[in-house]
Structure formats: C-alpha cells, structure tokens
Amino acid sequence: MFSYRHAFHAGNHADVLKHTVLIATLDHLLEKEAALTVIDTHAGAGLYRLDGDYAGTSGEAAEGILRLLSDKKEPAAPAPAPAAKTAAKKSAPAAEVPLADAIARYLGVISDFNPKGGARVYPGSPFIVQHLLRDHDKLKLFELHPTDARTLDANIAQLEAGRQIAVLRDDGFGSATKFLPPPSRRALVLMDPSYEIKSDYGRVLDFAAEALKRFATGTYAIWYPIIPRPEAHDLPRRLKTMATKAGKPWLHATLTVKSSKITTDASGETHRPGLPASGMFLINPPYTLKPLLAAALPQLVERLAQDRHATFSLDSGG
Ligand code: SAM
C-alpha cells in the first residue's frame, strides 16, 4: 500500500500553486448558472491541521501558505467572489499592498477556514471545492488510502452535504471516467496523484485520453511534480501533444522555489532539496486563467523563493 500521506505536505508551495489555480478555475466555471460536477480523482483527507504532528514534522507549510501569510505586510482584499456565493464569503479588510487577484482570492478562501487569522486549518481540494460550490453542483471524491479515505469520510460527513458529495474508496484512475459526461455536461476534473509510483505518470495520460474521448469539453486540471525524473518532464509535453491533437486549448503553469541540485556540506553530509518545483497543466482552461496567473506567478516567486533559482513559466496554446 502507498506510504504517501498528504498531511505531511499540506499547504506547501505545490498546494499554493495547485489551489490558487483550482480556485481561479472554479470561480470562472461557477459564473454560469448550469450545474457543475467536480471530480477529484485523488482527494486526500480533505482537511488538515498545520499545527498538528504531520505538518509540524515536515515543516513544508512554513515554506508555502505560512510564508505567504507572514509576507503579507497588510491583509489582502479578496478578489470579488462569483455572484452566486458572494454572501457566503467572509471578507478580509481592504489592502494597501496590491496582491495579485488570484493570490488574494486564494488567501481569502484560506481565511474563511481560519476566522481568527493564520492557517491552523488548511483545506485540501475537497473542502476548497465544496466551499465554493453551489447547492445544485456535485462533487465526486476518490481516495484509495484506507486511513485517508476514513478521515475524508468523517470530515465530509460533518458538512451534512447529503447527496451533493460522494466519497468513493476507489481507484480514481480506474473509475472516475464513469461520471463523464455528467448530466449537465459541465465538469472540472482535478487529477492530483502523489506520483509515488512511476506508473502514475502513464496513468494520468491514459486517464486524460479516455476522459477527453468521453467528454471533450470538460475542463481537466493536472498537478505534477517537477523532479529529476524523465517521466516528470515528459508528462506536460505529452499532455500538450494530446490536447493539440484533440484540437483543445491548454495552459501550462509552473512554479519553482529552489534549485533541484543535491548538495554536500563541509562535513560531507548530502542534502536533498525536497520538492523544488511543480506544475499545473489544464486542458480547456477558462480564458480568464492566463491573465490571472500572469499577475500571480511573479508574486509567488518573489514571496516563496528559497534561492536564486526560483522562477515560473506560463504557456498556453490551442
Ligand atoms: N488533491 C488533494 C489536495 O489538493 O488536497 C491532495 C491529494 S494527494 C497529493 C494524493 C492522494 O491520492 C493521496 O491521499 C493518496 O492516498 C491518494 N491516491 C493514490 N493513488 C490513488 C488512486 N489510484 N485513486 C485514488 N486515490 C489515490
């Protein structure tokens, strides 16, 4: 069984990128009244404590959401929420420092889970999505790890969301396509595997190909780690080819916070850098996403950089 537990990584720089993109994408999709189905093929536990043992041990949130929050000289004004849910959003005071809209909006959502400030509670993708969805939208969550699936179940049960949310202890790659196309023919699919096993890269490609065949107009968002492994570098290239061949628009955003080099200190001890970078690849992205990320990514680099190798890229086509 897998050893990956997202609780160790919640709120790290990869979550900051992923969840900023997720929120910006959802905001656009929720502007239309017709029901939206969101499928999270790799859901995790749903909700995390950043002051708990897991996050405390890894310290990854300190270089992600917590750094972003501490860097925020003045409270950020959340970007306007979609009309349908405006009433549910709690706004932070007006800002003096002009944060990019997508970052301000992300921090606004995090602050909704932390009314007293800070980020003791960090919402994973299931809770972020549920927070934004309207009553007539649907959410399908897949989680295979028995412990995380149990925690997810318990966390979701507290929302009393009834039939709006389905938690499936099942292989997201193997069975999520059965929900495509959804009855309203509007869907966002988030694919966020842990890539603990090499075959995850190939399974993302197979899943995306099958999903596009079943439902060519769905929006597909794929997170991946940028690590020194050929599969990690091939994945966005192959997704780009797939989208282009299908005649579908795509968007590719990456955030690097540090060098990927393994270093050796004076005592001869080797230091591995941990995750230095990650990317989001979207097929059929909202047209609003690129300008939002063009403003947000340089600010994320500035605020989350751990060395001079920090950088971003933003590319699109179709
Ligand atoms: N999407 C979550 C978020 O943003 O908060 C984080 C998900 S975490 C990166 C990946 C999760 O996928 C882990 O909890 C892991 O147990 C689960 N997982 C691994 N393989 C899976 C599979 N084939 N189907 C469903 N879940 C899987």
pLDDT at 215 over 90: yes
Q: What is the CATH number of the domain that holds 89?
A: 3.40.50.150
**177 ligand 1 Cβ < 6 A:** no
Residue ID of nearest Cα to ligand 1 atom 6: 44
Full domain range(s) for residue 257: 6-317
Q: How many domains does the chain have?
A: 1
Instruction: Say whether 150 sits in a helix, a strand or coil.
Output: helix
Residue at 126 is within a domain: yes
User: Which is nearest to 189 in space by CA: 161, 174, 208, 171?
Assistant: 208
pLDDT at 55 over 80: no
Residue ID of nearest Cα to ligand 1 atom 13: 44
Q: Is the alpha carbon torsion for 82, 153, 53, 9 positive or negative?
A: negative
Gap between the Cα atoms of 196 and 1, Å rounded = 11
Residue at 267 is within a domain: yes
How far, in Å, is the centroid of ligand 1 from the Cα of 172?
8
Residue at 293 is within a domain: yes
Q: What confidence score (pLDDT) does residue 24 get?
A: 98
pLDDT at 89 over 60: no
How far, in Å, is the centroid of ligand 1 from the Cα of 66?
23
Please report which confidence band the pLDDT of residue 2 belongs to, taking 50, 70 and 90 as the band edges. low
- Could you tell me which residue, 57 or 184, shows the higher pLDDT? 184
pLDDT (mean) for 177-196: 97
Secondary-structure percent of the chain, ordered helix, strand, coil, rounded to 5: 40, 20, 40
Residue ID of nearest Cα to ligand 1 atom 12: 42
**171 ligand 1 Cβ < 6 A:** yes
pLDDT (mean) for 11-36: 98
Q: What is the pTM of this model?
A: 0.91
pLDDT (mean) for 267-286: 93
Distances (CA, A) of 68 to 17, 106, 132, 277: 12, 11, 22, 16
pLDDT at 252 over 60: yes
- Could you tell me which residue, 264 or 232, shows the higher pLDDT? 232
Residue at 268 is within a domain: yes
How far, in Å, is the centroid of ligand 1 from the Cα of 37?
19
Please report which confidence band the pLDDT of residue 263 belongs to, taking 50, 70 and 90 as the band edges. confident
Q: What confidence score (pLDDT) does residue 103 get?
A: 98
* Least reliable range by pLDDT among 46-55, 80-89, 105-114, 130-139: 80-89
**142 ligand 1 Cβ < 6 A:** yes
Look-up: residue for tokens 């709690």?
A: 90
Residue at 20 is within a domain: yes
Q: What confidence score (pLDDT) does residue 63 get?
A: 95
Please report which confidence band the pLDDT of residue 15 belongs to, taking 50, 70 and 90 as the band edges. very high
Residue at 1 is within a domain: no
Of the ranges 13-17, 47-51, 257-261, which is most confident? 13-17
Distances (CA, A) of 49 to 46, 113, 150: 11, 11, 16
**173 ligand 1 Cβ < 6 A:** yes
pLDDT at 76 over 50: no
pLDDT (mean) for 138-159: 96
How far, in Å, is the centroid of ligand 1 from the Cα of 170?
11
Q: What confidence score (pLDDT) does residue 284 get?
A: 98
Residue at 82 is within a domain: yes
User: How much of the chain exceeds pLDDT 90, in percent?
Assistant: 82
Residues recognised as catalytic:
192
Instruction: Say whether 183 sits in a helix, a strand or coil.
Output: coil
Residue at 272 is within a domain: yes
